Amino acid sequence: MSVLIKNGRLVNASEDFVADLFVENETISAIGKNLDYTADKIIDASGKLVFPGGIDPHVHLDMPFMGTFSSDDYETGTRAALFGGTTTVIDFILQTQGDTLRNALTTWQEKSKGKAIGDYSYHMAVTDFNDDVAKEVVEMIEEEGITSFKTFMAYKGALMIDDGQMVQLMKVVEKHGGLVTVHATNGDMIDSLIAKHRAEGKLSPLYHYLSQPEVTEAEASARFIDMLEYTGCTGYIVHMTCEGALNAVRRATLRNQHLFVETCPQYLLVDASVYDNGFESAKWVMSPPIREKKDQEALWSGLNQGLVNVIGTDHCPFNWDQKLMGKDDFSKIPNGHPAIEHRMELIFSEGVHKGKISLNKFVEVTATNPAKIFGMHPRKGSISVGADADIVVFNPNTKHTLSVKSHHMNVDYSSYEGWEVTGKTETVLRRGKIAIEDGECHLKPGSGKFIARGKTTKIL
Ligand code: URP
Ligand code: ZN
Ligand code: ZN
């Protein structure tokens, strides 16, 4: 199969020019003006943007969590991602406390087998660290191509590790060239605020928000960064939401630390007024919660200052009947929201179209940096000869409205219902094959590949 994409505006993290692109089999084989090649398929991309397929490094597919499972599995989740222009996702394997990493890996391999349509990789969440697990960490890096290890400083009793375990894990990961990622919020402070609110009969979703004030994230982020400095490990803070945490990153830059930061569209676009809507606010019950307008401004600035390196989604969808598990008690509402399909279009529309970030920055934070940080570059994350032909042809002028009626995620509401965006993913190639065209997905479940990852590019 060969594809010739003609006259598109090719955008990489540091390039922007009009050219043709020739794809043979799974990879990009030529880029140039007026390429005179015979191809099985020709796409006229005049007036369109052509950029690397998005990489979403923070998704939860078919994940057991808070007494239920996230509602998108590998098939529905990666298909929805492709519709939105994301060709690769990194999901989180969760170690069961008291069990091995190997068993957790096997469980997740079963979840993805025969189902994934987009390409995928795994982070390994270490929820119970000891000497045996330390050996498995090395095995994951050396033998399985799983080079990033997720930690939780919250969700005590299920996922949280203590600071002693964190430091030991960092030492092993550092020695073997991996990366420690973190959900950085102070679990004990949050648990005591949850208990206080419940004891006072304050049970609506608003109290989810009020149980996780900014300080809980700022403190944990700073603590994590200090432990990174102590161990020399490279770190990555997931779903950063607020100015306080970002200021801890600013301080880390004075110490020349190897630290990367991710935020998500919801923290850039939505403010805490979403919690003023009774139980409807359960749509925005996620951790950390949505913050204030001043935090949105800090995060947009952080992107432009190079302090925030990645925009992921933290896609963790639950149907409404699942959210209703917490109808009488906010602490039982499964945390998370659906977003895997909308990241690229939302950030293009609200970021590039509205002038908050450049087109190059858009590609950098949605594709190139995730590829570099998570050891997939140059195979993924840029349009270059020899790279996987994961390509988005995007119409920057098409206006459309996001809705549960038209999205492809397996969830019965849209957090972004009625949201008007400018810019639409039109055609998507995944490793050289037409994945999305004319509003249809043309790839079969099981055609997505596991991507074994290498070590982090420490300098972006
Ligand atoms: O609310 C969230 N974020 N749910 C998914 C799990 C996590 O903390 O990332
Ligand atoms: Zn988290
Ligand atoms: Zn998450």
In a domain, 410, yes or no: no
Ligand 1 centre and the CA of 130: distance in Å?
Answer: 24
Ligand 2 centre and the CA of 402: distance in Å?
Answer: 25
Ligand nearest to the CA of 158: 1
Best residue for ligand 1 mutational test, from 316, 333, 340 (most atoms within 8 Å of Cβ): 316
Could you report the per-residue pLDDT of 164-177, keeping only the tens digit for each?
999 999 999 999 99
Which domain-ending residue is among 313, 338, 373? 373
Position 453 pLDDT exceeds 90: yes
Verify that 43 and 76 share a domain, yes or no.
no
Domain encompassing residue 26: 3-51+385-396+422-441
Best residue for ligand 1 mutational test, from 56, 58, 60 (most atoms within 8 Å of Cβ): 60
Which among 317, 314, 340, 283 has a CA at the least distance from the CA of 72?
317
Name the band, by pLDDT with cuts 50, 70 and 90, for residue 430: very high
Verify that 357 and 436 share a domain, yes or no.
no
Instruction: Tell me whether the omega of the peptide bond preceding residue 265 falls within 30 degrees of 0, making it cis.
Output: no
Q: Indicate which CATH number applies to the domain containing 44.
A: 2.30.40.10
Verify that 365 and 272 share a domain, yes or no.
yes
Residue list, ligand 1 pocket, CB within 6 Å = 60, 183, 286-287, 314, 316, 335-336
Please state, rounded to an integer, the average pLDDT across all residues of the chain: 98
Which among 207, 338, 206 has a CA at the least distance from the CA of 275?
206
Verify that 248 and 347 share a domain, yes or no.
yes
In a domain, 291, yes or no: yes
Q: Whose CA is nearest to atom 8 of ligand 1?
A: 287
Q: Whose CA is nearest to atom 3 of ligand 1?
A: 287
Residue with tokens 């459309």: 400
Write down the pLDDT at residue 140: 98
Classify the phi-psi angles of 26: left when phi > 0, otherwise alpha if psi is within -120 to 50, otherwise beta: alpha
Rounded distance, CA 59 to CA 55, Å?
A: 10
Buried b (16+ CB within 10 A) or exposed e, 342-360: bbbbbbbbbbbbeebbebb
Verify that 433 and 366 share a domain, yes or no.
no
Write down the pLDDT at residue 379: 98
Ligand 2 centre and the CA of 297: distance in Å?
Answer: 21
Could you report the per-residue pLDDT of 192-229, keeping only the tens digit for each?
999 999 999 999 999 999 999 999 999 999 999 999 99
Verify that 46 and 169 share a domain, yes or no.
no
In a domain, 160, yes or no: yes
Q: Reading across the β-sheet that carries 86-94, which strands appear in turn?
A: 54-59, 86-94, 119-125, 148-152, 179-183, 235-237, 259-263, 310-311
Best residue for ligand 1 mutational test, from 239, 284, 286, 333 (most atoms within 8 Å of Cβ): 286
Question: What predicted TM-score, i.e. pTM, was given to this entire model?
Answer: 0.98
Report, as an integer, the average pLDDT of 319-342: 98
Question: What contacts 98, CB < 8 A, 6 or more positions away?
Answer: 128
The token duo for 40 is: 């099985």
Verify that 306 and 365 share a domain, yes or no.
yes
The token duo for 123 is: 């982070």
Q: Whose CA is nearest to atom 4 of ligand 1?
A: 336
Report, as an integer, the average pLDDT of 409-429: 98
Name the band, by pLDDT with cuts 50, 70 and 90, for residue 458: confident
In a domain, 406, yes or no: no
Write down the pLDDT at residue 279: 98
Position 367 pLDDT exceeds 90: yes
| Number of continuous H segments (helices) and E segments (strands) in the chain | 14, 19
Write down the pLDDT at residue 457: 83
In a domain, 57, yes or no: yes
Position 342 pLDDT exceeds 90: yes
Verify that 311 and 322 share a domain, yes or no.
yes
The token duo for 81 is: 């991602």
Verify that 17 and 61 share a domain, yes or no.
no
Ligand 2 centre and the CA of 30: distance in Å?
Answer: 40
The total of structural domains in the chain comes to: 2
Report, as an integer, the average pLDDT of 346-367: 98
Ligand nearest to the CA of 334: 1
Which among 236, 400, 414, 250 has a CA at the least distance from the CA of 312?
236
Extended beta strands in 12-166, E state: 16-24, 27-32, 41-44, 49-52, 54-59, 64-65, 68-69, 86-94, 119-125, 148-152
Best residue for ligand 1 mutational test, from 65, 262, 335 (most atoms within 8 Å of Cβ): 335
Query: Which ligand 1 atom minimizes the distance to the CA of 287?
Result: 1
Neighbours of ion ligand 2 (CB under 5 A): 183
Ligand 3 centre and the CA of 16: distance in Å?
Answer: 32
Q: Whose CA is nearest to atom 9 of ligand 1?
A: 314
Ligand 1 centre and the CA of 20: distance in Å?
Answer: 41
Query: Which ligand 1 atom minimizes the distance to the CA of 155?
Result: 8
In a domain, 321, yes or no: yes
Ligand 2 centre and the CA of 183: distance in Å?
Answer: 5
- Largest Cα–Cα separation, the chain: 73
The token duo for 372 is: 């570099």
In a domain, 47, yes or no: yes
Q: What percent of the chain has pLDDT over 70?
A: 100
Query: Which ligand 1 atom minimizes the distance to the CA of 58?
Result: 9
Buried b (16+ CB within 10 A) or exposed e, 204-237: bbbbbbbbbbbebbbbbbbbbbbbbbebebbbbb
Q: What percent of the chain has pLDDT over 90?
A: 99
In a domain, 459, yes or no: no
Whether the Cβ atoms of residue 28 and residue 383 lie closer than 8 Å to each other: yes
Verify that 435 and 312 share a domain, yes or no.
no
3-state secondary structure of 406: coil
Q: Indicate which CATH number applies to the domain containing 58.
A: 3.20.20.140
Query: Which ligand 1 atom minimizes the distance to the CA of 335?
Result: 1
CA 72 to chain centroid: 15
Verify that 267 and 392 share a domain, yes or no.
no
Write down the pLDDT at residue 456: 87
Question: How open is the CA angle 391-44-85, to the nearest 5 degrees?
Answer: 25
Write down the pLDDT at residue 204: 98
Ligand 3 centre and the CA of 179: distance in Å?
Answer: 16
Verify that 146 and 207 share a domain, yes or no.
yes
Which domain-ending residue is among 340, 373, 406? 373
Q: Whose CA is nearest to atom 1 of ligand 1?
A: 286
